[in-house]
């Protein structure tokens, strides 16, 4: 391995990577913090000053520093050993371009104006989260003051970057919305940004409505791959609320995981779809995966009068009984997070762990934002006219909400999901019912281990919704993923992070 294959990431969770694979840190938090401090500052530090910053007198600071430096040396490959230099009085690390922070470039507004849009987007992609998000030493005030100051400085730079991108991309509203929503999440309650998001939403909707499908060549059919796992999937049926037939499926072996239903699912096609197939493989590779099609979706009955929240919870209860699940991990995605919360409060004895991804405590109507309500109601008209049709602008708008950097394959796959899973009228009926969801009063009643994950720039469910779940559910753990996608794609790093955290949680709680 060459020294160039070593990478240090301080934007988001602190990581040391060797040839792209994470290197495990020693259990000492202070050693980890010391490495981060030396790597970011890149300048000589007196040993005495480092001792004062990280260790109290009773800890034998000099011996503790020597031990930590020895552990840091063990982490570095032989080819990069000269990065850390230390003598009897001074310690210095020179990571150079191996440090992600060094690749950001200047973030002042005047400097950003001279950089290309593509370069700015690449810079934004590097900013995976707050500076040293998982490194905190409350009992080391000097280190904390340094970390907090840099965190604030980078957040100001990130906002400068977002403002520049939104300004440049005004003529491409569907593309600009990702960055506008990120600004709105960072500055909640800012009326100017709220108006800007509203203008971009209107422009994107107008473009989608105004462009006839004949003007743009049709998107190629999605590439389908052999769905070998279908041979190991067993599809069954049960009766949910009001006698509606609910289709459910069981695949894989291991500790049971039940994925609560969300809209646009199809028990069979999901194994082929580029939108969902990687989820199917990851969730069933080590576990028994039980999932079901929501009423009016996929293989479940397409006609159902009752689309109420209580009916959805009752459908979940029926699947649990029909599948014979005694104790399991419950996974909620998007609107099924609220349904999963309701089930967990009713049947805590069944739940070994609760995982919530990309959900919201209150639906779009209950959140009470008049701009969002207007946008959703405008979208209803477009859904009835463009759902499952060859309307390129509708595809672009709809896809960008769920997968912001969608490929041609993703766009085609979401087209296929629309036509295969649900009718236009039922699609809007469900979206309309989701607007009235509100489980605020239930969160304090959740008594099971809970893991909440949310994409930082999710345009469907704001990251603040995920934080609310985690804040109001006792002892819940929150993981913010570096993504703008409501549906995580196969090759983005955030999906790998989701899988690792999910598997570790299942193993720890089952």
Assign residue 344 the CATH number of its domain: 3.40.50.1820
Assess contact for 494 and 485: CB atoms under 8 A: yes
Per the domain annotation, does 471 fall within a domain?
yes
Q: Give the model's pLDDT for residue 408.
A: 79
- Which of the given ranges, 19-23, 92-96, 132-136, 333-337, has the highest pLDDT on average? 333-337
Domain boundary among 95, 112, 129: 112
Per the domain annotation, does 176 fall within a domain?
no
Domain boundary among 87, 112, 137: 112
Express each pLDDT in 379-425 by its tens digit: 766 676 666 555 656 666 677 788 887 787 888 888 778 878 888 88
In this structure, what token pair is assigned to residue 240? 């949910």
Per the domain annotation, does 199 fall within a domain?
no
Contacts of 235 (CB under 8 A, 6+ apart): 247, 248, 249, 267, 268, 299
Per the domain annotation, does 189 fall within a domain?
no
Express each pLDDT in 230-266 by its tens digit: 447 899 999 999 999 999 999 999 999 999 999 889 9
- Judged on CB neighbours under 10 Å (0-12, 13-18, 19+), 229 is middle
Q: Count the domains in the chain.
A: 2
Per the domain annotation, does 87 fall within a domain?
yes
In this structure, what token pair is assigned to residue 399? 């896809």
Express each pLDDT in 296-354 by its tens digit: 998 999 888 899 999 999 999 999 999 999 999 999 999 999 999 999 999 999 999 99
Q: Give the model's pLDDT for residue 62.
A: 92
- pLDDT greater than 70 at residue 59: no
Say how far apart CA 440 and CA 343 lie, in whole Å. 14
Domain boundary among 93, 112, 131: 112
Residue 108 and residue 255 in one domain:
no
- pLDDT greater than 70 at residue 212: no
Q: Is the pTM of this model over 0.85?
A: no
Assess contact for 8 and 93: CB atoms under 8 A: no
Over residues 58-82, the mean pLDDT reads 86
Give the three-state DSSP class for 9.
Answer: strand
Residue 332 and residue 468 in one domain:
yes
**Mean pLDDT over the full length of the chain:** 85
Assess contact for 337 and 453: CB atoms under 8 A: no
Residue 443 and residue 294 in one domain:
yes
Assign residue 30 the CATH number of its domain: 1.10.10.10
Could you tell me how many helices (H) and strands (E) the chain has, helices first? 17, 14
Q: Give the model's pLDDT for residue 222.
A: 42
Indicate the pLDDT class of residue 224, thresholds 50, 70 and 90.
Answer: very low
Say how far apart CA 376 and CA 208 lie, in whole Å. 14
Over residues 412-441, the mean pLDDT reads 85
In this structure, what token pair is assigned to residue 480? 């913010």
Out of 46-60, 70-84, 217-231, 339-353, which region has the weakest mean confidence (pLDDT)? 217-231
Q: Give the model's pLDDT for residue 209.
A: 53
Per the domain annotation, does 142 fall within a domain?
no
Over residues 457-473, the mean pLDDT reads 91
- pLDDT greater than 90 at residue 446: yes
- pLDDT greater than 50 at residue 218: no
Q: Could you give the percent of the chain with pLDDT greater than 70?
A: 88
Residue 105 and residue 241 in one domain:
no
Express each pLDDT in 227-236 by its tens digit: 444 447 899 9
Per the domain annotation, does 61 fall within a domain?
yes
Indicate the pLDDT class of residue 178, thresholds 50, 70 and 90.
Answer: confident
Q: Give the model's pLDDT for residue 72.
A: 92
* DSSP single-letter state for residue 486: S
Q: Give the model's pLDDT for residue 362.
A: 92
Out of 18-22, 92-96, 99-103, 106-110, which region has the weakest mean confidence (pLDDT)? 18-22
Per the domain annotation, does 25 fall within a domain?
yes
Q: Which domain holds residue 462?
A: 228-366+430-509
Q: Give the model's pLDDT for residue 174.
A: 73
């Amino acid at each position: 391995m060459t020294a160039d294959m070593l990478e240090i990431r301080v934007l988001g969770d602190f990581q040391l990577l060797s040839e792209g694979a994470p290197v495990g840190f020693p259990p000492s938090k202070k050693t980890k913090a010391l490495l981060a401090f030396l790597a970011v500052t890149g300048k000589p530090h007196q040993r005495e000053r480092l001792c004062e910053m990280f260790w109290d007198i009773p800890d034998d600071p000099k011996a503790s520093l020597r031990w930590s430096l020895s552990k840091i040396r063990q982490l570095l490959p032989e080819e990069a050993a000269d990065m850390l230099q230390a003598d009897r009085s001074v310690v210095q690390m020179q990571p150079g371009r191996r440090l992600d922070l060094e690749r950001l470039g200047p973030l002042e507004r005047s400097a950003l104006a001279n950089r290309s849009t593509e370069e700015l987007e690449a810079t934004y992609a590097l900013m995976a989260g707050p500076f040293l998000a998982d490194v905190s030493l409350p009992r080391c005030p000097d280190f904390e003051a340094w970390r907090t100051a840099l965190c604030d400085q980078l957040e100001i730079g990130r906002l400068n970057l977002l403002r520049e991108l939104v300004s440049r991309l005004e003529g491409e509203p569907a593309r600009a919305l990702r960055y506008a929503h990120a600004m709105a999440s960072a500055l909640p309650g800012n009326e100017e940004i709220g108006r800007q998001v509203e203008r971009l939403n209107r422009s994107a909707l107008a473009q989608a409505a105004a462009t006839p499908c004949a003007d743009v060549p049709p998107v190629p059919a999605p590439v389908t791959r052999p769905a070998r796992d279908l041979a190991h999937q067993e599809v069954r049926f049960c009766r949910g609320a009001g006698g509606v037939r609910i289709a459910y499926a069981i695949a894989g072996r291991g500790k049971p995981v039940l994925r609560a239903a969300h809209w646009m699912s199809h028990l069979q096609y999901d194994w082929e779809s580029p939108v969902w197939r990687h989820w199917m493989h990851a969730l069933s590779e080590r576990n028994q995966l039980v999932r079901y099609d929501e009423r009016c979706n996929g293989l479940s009955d397409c006609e159902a009068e009752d689309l109420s929240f209580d009916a959805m919870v009752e459908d979940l209860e029926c699947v649990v009984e029909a599948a014979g699940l005694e104790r399991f991990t419950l996974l909620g995605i998007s609107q099924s997070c609220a349904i999963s919360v309701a089930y967990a409060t009713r049947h805590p004895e069944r739940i070994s762990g609760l995982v919530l991804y990309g959900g919201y405590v209150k639906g779009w109507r209950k959140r009470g934002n008049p701009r969002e309500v207007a946008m959703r109601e405008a979208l209803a008209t477009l859904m009835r006219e463009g759902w499952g049709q060859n309307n390129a602008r509708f595809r672009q708008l709809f896809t960008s909400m769920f997968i912001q950097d969608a490929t041609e394959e993703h766009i085609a796959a979401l087209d296929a999901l629309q036509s295969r899973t649900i009718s236009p009228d039922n699609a809007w009926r469900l979206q309309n019912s989701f607007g009235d969801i509100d489980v605020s009063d239930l969160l304090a009643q959740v008594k099971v281990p809970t893991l909440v994950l949310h994409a930082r720039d999710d345009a469907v469910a704001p990251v603040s919704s995920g934080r609310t779940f985690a804040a109001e559910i006792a002892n819940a753990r929150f993981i913010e993923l570096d993504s703008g996608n409501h549906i995580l794609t196969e090759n983005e790093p955030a999906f790998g992070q989701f899988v690792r955290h999910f598997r570790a949680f299942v193993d720890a709680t089952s």
